[in-house]
A = this chain, B = another copy of it.
Amino acid sequence: MKIDSIDFFYLTMPQVLDIGDGSQDALLVRVSAGEHVGWGECEAAPLVSIASLVCPMSHSACKPVQASVLGQSIDGVDDIRRIGNLVRANSLDLLQADHTLSGIDIALWDLLGRRLDEPVWKLLGYAQSYPKMPYASVLFGNTAQETLAKAKRIRALGFRAAKFGWGPFGTLDVADDESQLQAAREGIGEEGVLLVDVGTIWNDDLARARTRLPALKRARAQWLEEPFVSGALSEYHALSQESQPVGLAGGEGCHNFHMAKNMIDLAGLQYVQIDAGRIGGITVAKDVADYAATRSVTYVNHTFTSNLALSASLQPFAGLDTHVICEYPTELQVLAREMTLNHITPDAEGFLSAPDAPGLGIEPNLVGIQSYLVDTEIRVGGKLLYRTPPLS
């Protein structure tokens, strides 16, 4: 069975706001092989990933991503890894390629799962998909009062854990940050699991990060996420020596296995957060999950768009029973919500599981997303390289 086509669909809200909300646009991926179809999603910057799918070759190690995928045979899971390796070699000098490959790899797993009538987590070798404890993932409010209200709402919805991130946190003074943290703690209650995401706000400034540790400890945050950019290994490690009992979380910026491995080995992380839509897909994410497990680092999914991306992000660690916590975006834009016909929702105990259904277990809503589809066209040297394909 050969891969016949790769279709990229750029979806966007009518207006994209300058806020840390990744569900405002999406790049939906469809891969076809014979009569079989699979769906995936690339994280962020749809136009750039479209360009890297179809761009003209620069040289032998800078080919468009599609050159290593179209026409390849896809008969088993080993083929997915083989195709990923081809993309990484043939597009070595094309930086965006890892993000572009991610959506294709996810779609190939979905395609194979649908064809073999098995959930992806089974194809990955897991016998069981364990329930995960979702944390509600929201932005900090603009004020401590807003954060308090958000936290109370999350608690009322039955969540045991909440993550607050971005917004003004880390950019103002330490006292303001402490008020935000105390508001979050008050809102979710004494028993709630509190997670804090600062979105690389301190870049690699160890001193500034240090000043927030006392407030994080007083608010009993379970983790501090992305104090620094991915790769600032020595700064992460130094901070981890002082942050306990607050664990460090990071890794979402990793776009290949080695970056994640280095974060696990050398950054003092307690939690490694992997976005299957960036790191090269489910294949590489599963490699990281396997490695993290051998190093006593907890694997956590990173995701903030549709439930298709959510399902893809859950598969790599579905079978790791002691890696319990999981990201679950709860402030999705209507686009990300309407992108899929079915959704992944917490069970009666408030836990979340990777779907027990063929492939990723998520059906894209082809009619519903039509109005979010944005016509895109790329021409080079008079040749049409890309035009938004029809959805059906």
Whether A56 and B51, one on each chain, are in contact in the complex, defined by CB atoms closer than 8 angstroms, is: no
Tally of this chain's copies:
2
Q: What's the minimum C-beta distance from A140 to chain B, rounded to whole angstroms?
A: 13
Whether B92 and A99, one on each chain, are in contact in the complex, defined by CB atoms closer than 8 angstroms, is: no
Whether B43 and A47, one on each chain, are in contact in the complex, defined by CB atoms closer than 8 angstroms, is: no
Q: Please, how many angstroms separate the alpha-carbon atoms of A377 and B231 in the complex? A: 35
Q: A43-B93, A44-B94 are in contact. Are A58 and B233 (CB under 8 A)?
A: no
Question: Any chain B CB within 8 A of the CB of A98?
Answer: yes
Q: Please, how many angstroms separate the alpha-carbon atoms of A16 and B56 in the complex? A: 9
Whether A59 and B380, one on each chain, are in contact in the complex, defined by CB atoms closer than 8 angstroms, is: no
Q: What's the minimum C-beta distance from A274 to chain B, rounded to whole angstroms?
A: 14
Whether B93 and A44, one on each chain, are in contact in the complex, defined by CB atoms closer than 8 angstroms, is: yes
Q: Which of B95, B374, B377, B385 contacts A99 (CB 8 A)?
A: B95
Q: Please, how many angstroms separate the alpha-carbon atoms of A249 and B92 in the complex? A: 17
- 9-residue interface stretch from A21-29, A143-151, A238-246, A321-329: A21-29
- 9-residue interface stretch from A110-118, A213-221, A259-267, A352-360: A259-267
Closest to A139 in B: B60
**Please, which residues of chain B bring their CB within 8 A of the CB of A231?**
256, 258-259, 262
Within A306-365, which residues are at the interface with B (CB < 8 Å)? none
Q: Please, how many angstroms separate the alpha-carbon atoms of A199 and B92 in the complex? A: 9
Question: Any chain B CB within 8 A of the CB of A73?
Answer: no
**Please, which residues of chain B bring their CB within 8 A of the CB of A382?**
375
Whether B379 and A377, one on each chain, are in contact in the complex, defined by CB atoms closer than 8 angstroms, is: yes
Q: A52-B96, A92-B200, A93-B43 are in contact. Are A59 and B258 (CB under 8 A)?
A: no
Whether A95 and B96, one on each chain, are in contact in the complex, defined by CB atoms closer than 8 angstroms, is: yes
Against B, the Cβ 8 Å flags (1 = close, 0 = not) of A261-288 are: 1100110000000000010000000000
**Please, which residues of chain B bring their CB within 8 A of the CB of A203?**
85, 88-89
Against B, the Cβ 8 Å flags (1 = close, 0 = not) of A169-194 are: 00000000000000000000000000
Q: Please, how many angstroms separate the alpha-carbon atoms of A383 and B132 in the complex? A: 43
Whether B93 and A59, one on each chain, are in contact in the complex, defined by CB atoms closer than 8 angstroms, is: no
Against B, the Cβ 8 Å flags (1 = close, 0 = not) of A141-161 are: 000000000000000000000
Interface centre among A43, A45, A259 (most CB of B within 10 A): A45
**Please, which residues of chain B bring their CB within 8 A of the CB of A22?**
58-59, 62, 93
Q: What's the minimum C-beta distance from A309 to chain B, rounded to whole angstroms?
A: 13
**Please, which residues of chain B bring their CB within 8 A of the CB of A58?**
16, 22, 24-25, 44-46
Q: Which of B57, B62, B233 contacts A262 (CB 8 A)?
A: B233
**Please, which residues of chain B bring their CB within 8 A of the CB of A45?**
52, 55, 58, 62, 93-96
Against B, the Cβ 8 Å flags (1 = close, 0 = not) of A363-379 are: 00000000000111111
Q: Please, how many angstroms separate the alpha-carbon atoms of A262 and B135 in the complex? A: 33
**Please, which residues of chain B bring their CB within 8 A of the CB of A62?**
22, 44-45
Against B, the Cβ 8 Å flags (1 = close, 0 = not) of A189-209 are: 000000000011001100000
Question: Any chain B CB within 8 A of the CB of A391?
Answer: no
**Please, which residues of chain B bring their CB within 8 A of the CB of A43?**
93
Question: Any chain B CB within 8 A of the CB of A138?
Answer: no
Against B, the Cβ 8 Å flags (1 = close, 0 = not) of A47-90 are: 11011101111111110000000000000000000000100110
**Please, which residues of chain B bring their CB within 8 A of the CB of A233?**
258, 262, 266
A residues adjacent to B (C-beta < 8 A): 10, 12, 16-22, 24-25, 43-48, 50-52, 54-62, 85, 88-89, 92-96, 98-99, 166, 199-200, 203-204, 229, 231-234, 253, 255-256, 258-259, 261-262, 265-266, 278, 374-382, 385
**What are the 7 A-B residue pairs with the smallest beta carbon separation, nearest first?**
A231-B258, A51-B51, A47-B55, A96-B96, A377-B379, A374-B381, A44-B93
A sample of 16 inter-chain contacts (CB < 8 A) reads A10-B380, A20-B61, A25-B59, A44-B58, A45-B94, A46-B55, A46-B58, A47-B385, A48-B48, A88-B229, A92-B253, A95-B96, A231-B259, A233-B258, A233-B266, A376-B381
